[in-house]
Each structure stands twice: as structure tokens, then as C-alpha cells.
Structure 1
């Protein structure tokens, strides 16, 4: 989808290496896994639980200019929904290409809706 994926966690690079070698799901990862042992990244994005020393499960979609376009933060026991992340990314790309909005429940292939204050409440 013309996007760069980075996995960043407070785990060590050695933990990442073991995960990618041992875990069946880890062996499927084909994008960089970065270690944030200093907690600098997780603090900067506001997702660090300082008392626990770990980062919440968070997803950030950042545009080429460095602006956060979307983000979600999940509690520790709840995993991410990759289908929703991909839908959001597709919706942002659709909006950039067409100028139309991607309404609730929108999926690629569906029509968009006009954006702007004059359309609020009409769709």
C-alpha cells in the first residue's frame, strides 16, 4: 500500500531476534523491528507506562510530511485489528486521491462522501 512499516517496542534487539526465530507469527514478519530500550520513542509518542516500563500497543499512521494522520492505543491485553489499520490507511489514500471522505464502514471499492462543513449530517 506504498507505506513503510516499523515495529518498535521496549524489548531488546535480542528479544526481537528470539521472537522472529522461535515464534511462528514472528517468522512471518518482513519489516524492521526496532528496540526502544531508552523509552525515548514511546515517551515522545505518549504511549509509555513509566511505572511498568513498557509501551502500550499503539499504531500511528504518519504521512510523508511527518504528520500523524491516525493513531490508536490498545490496552495491554487487547491486540490490534490489522484489517482496521489497513482500512484506515486505504481511506486516507482514497481521500488524498479523490478528495472524498471515507465514511464509517467504508471499505476500498465503496464510494466516498463529500467532505466539508456544508455536508455535516447529510451522510
Structure 2
């Protein structure tokens, strides 16, 4: 899902008029009270906006990863997907994934005994 401090009316217009907005097939939630943004620590209270942030939350409700982009920098969706795939790989195999890992690549054993070995 996506959450922004924009109104539901802004979301409606965005999904009806923007070429990228028309492709959205997940819920858009409005955080007009800015309560969600405050709780996740991504609200710029002076500017009255939320930073571009991504939270990867597991099925148990635990935050597994979060990325906060500077205001002028967009998200890298490919990296967000890679993080999710790496977490799923870890749950399935118990192995970690090194930098640059992609699905199909081997994982690595984790723990102090393996530090510096890869």
C-alpha cells in the first residue's frame, strides 16, 4: 500500500490523470492527520510533508527494512523488490544474501564465524 499526506481527492485525481498513477493497482491511503507519518518518524513537521520512505513489514508485523530518500531523489523499485526477495530467500533457506545478490545466486552463511570469509 502507499500512504501519503495528500487527500483522498488528490489520490483520485492522480490515479485518473497521471500516466504512472493509472498503473497503480494497490491501495492509496491518505494520512491527512499526519499521524502515521509521525509514528514512523518520517514527517517533516516544519515543511508539513512526509519524506519519501519505504517500509518492508513482514507477515508478523515487524519492520524488516526501511529506506528514506532525500526529497529530490525517487525510489529504486528494483532494489526494494531485491530486498523483499532476499528476505524471502533468508526465510526459506536460513542463508543471508550478499551485496549485489539477485534471485538464483547462492546465499551465504551468517554469524561471527563467517565474518570476512566472503
Flag whether TM exceeds 0.5 (same fold).
Answer: yes
Cα RMSD after superposing both structures: 0.5
Unaligned 5+ runs, structure 1? 1-5
Tell me the number of residue pairs that the alignment of Structure 1 and Structure 2 aligns: 118
**Match for residue 48 of structure 1?**
43
TM-score (normalizing by structure 1): 0.95
Structure-to-structure mapping, 1:58-97, within 5 angstroms: 58-97=53-92
**Match for residue 10 of structure 1?**
5
The question of 1:113 aligning with 2:108 is answered: yes
CA distance in 2, matches of 1:33, 1:57: 14
The question of 1:32 aligning with 2:15 is answered: no
Runs (4+) off by over 6 Å: none
TM-score (normalizing by structure 2): 0.99
Residue 30 of structure 1, CA deviation: 0.1
Unaligned 5+ runs, structure 2? none
